[in-house]
Amino acid sequence: MNALSPLGWLYGVGSSFRNALYDRGIFRSHNLGARTISIGNLTAGGTGKTPLVAYIANLLSEDGEKVCILTRGYGRENTSDRVVVSDGERVLVNARTGGDEPAELAQKLLGKAVIIADRDRVAAARWAVNEFRPTVFLLDDGFQHRRAARDIDIVCIDATDPFGGGSSLPAGRLRERPSNLDRADAAVLTRADLADDLAALERQVRQLAPKIEIFHASYLTREFNEIGSQNTIDIAELRRSAAFAFCGLGDPKNFFAQLGREGVRLVGRKAFPDHHAYNADDVRGVEASARSAGAEVLITTAKDAVRLDTSRLELKCLVAEIDVRITDDDRFRHLIVSTLA
């Protein structure tokens, strides 16, 4: 037990009570006006959810759907505002206004998805139905947002740390009890290739949710793009350079480990808090550490890149563009498409 355990217990009780009110129909879920897919987590941060949201948005767009992503836009300046981050054709705001993950998704999904940041996703959906006429909503980080009804509930579980230490926030990383997996339709075990015992985790998930569909996902860096230019750096070329990596993620060690597995020669690394807002001192500090370590190039994530003032960078900085790979991709596509149909 740690000093925060009593607060974690209270958080867990509150979460269970709220879920019970929805389960009994005392609190009501609202239809959003179009078919709806929720992609969320049991734990706070670091499960690899954002690449999966992009993957599903691409899948639906290729199938002829008009996609609208509804997100809270964590970390943005004014959380009470409704912000159209992308109208589907243009990125309209920066990460400070729209949030880092929405801004990242907006750049990845140009021409494929409208993206709206609003803490009231039910109200945002009703507005979007009239404004953009979407055929499908994606609820980003929607598992706990039960006020919005959904047709498919997908939960990401980090196979390297599935249940966040087993304690509720703030003592651990659980947002709600693992037994609530039973209301999900599918679980995507992310970083499945790094799990110590994937079969044991599957058995545990099956015990919690006997009818749930289980998929495995891993991550691969598709390419490295140079900030401030159109240059794409080949992984073979990058392996010849000494690199310094930095990021502000929920679980930064996985990003650093992925670069190492892909053969990038890291001579240093720096982790910032999740959703960190970079200032001039941060950039100077990163570059000073990189030069001291003998690095020739900086590497960061797409989520971090949208929060950087690139005019302050002196060293070449590359963005790792990460894709998700789902085992049994055809079965996953069938789950999405057939349920919506």
Residues 107 and 206 in one domain: yes
Least confident of 173-182, 214-223, 232-241: 232-241
Task: Tell me the residue range of the domain where 12 lies.
Answer: 5-219+325-340
Cα gap 241→238, rounded to integer Å: 5
Residues 190 and 155 in one domain: yes
pLDDT at 288 over 90: yes
Residues 145 and 250 in one domain: no
pLDDT value of residue 139: 98
- Rounded to the nearest integer, the mean pLDDT of the chain is 93
For residues 160-184, average pLDDT: 92
Give the residue among 47, 71, 63, 1 at the shortest CA–CA distance from 251.
47
pLDDT value of residue 165: 81
Quick check: bond before 51 cis, omega within 30? no
Residues 168 and 233 in one domain: no
pLDDT at 2 over 80: no
pLDDT at 214 over 90: yes
**CA distances for 46 relative to 42, 49, 78, 243, angstroms:** 11, 8, 23, 23
**Per-residue pLDDT tens over the stretch 83-123:** 999 999 999 999 999 999 999 999 999 999 999 999 999 99
For residues 63-80, average pLDDT: 93
For residues 137-150, average pLDDT: 97
pTM, two decimal places: 0.94
Check which CATH number belongs to the domain holding 260 and give it: 3.40.50
13 CB-near residues (< 8 Å, 6+ apart): none
Residues 102 and 16 in one domain: yes
For 115-127, letters b (16+ CB in 10 Å) and e give bbbbebbbebbeb
Give the residue among 209, 193, 204 at the shortest CA–CA distance from 162.
204
What tokens does 162 get? 């599935």
pLDDT value of residue 1: 60
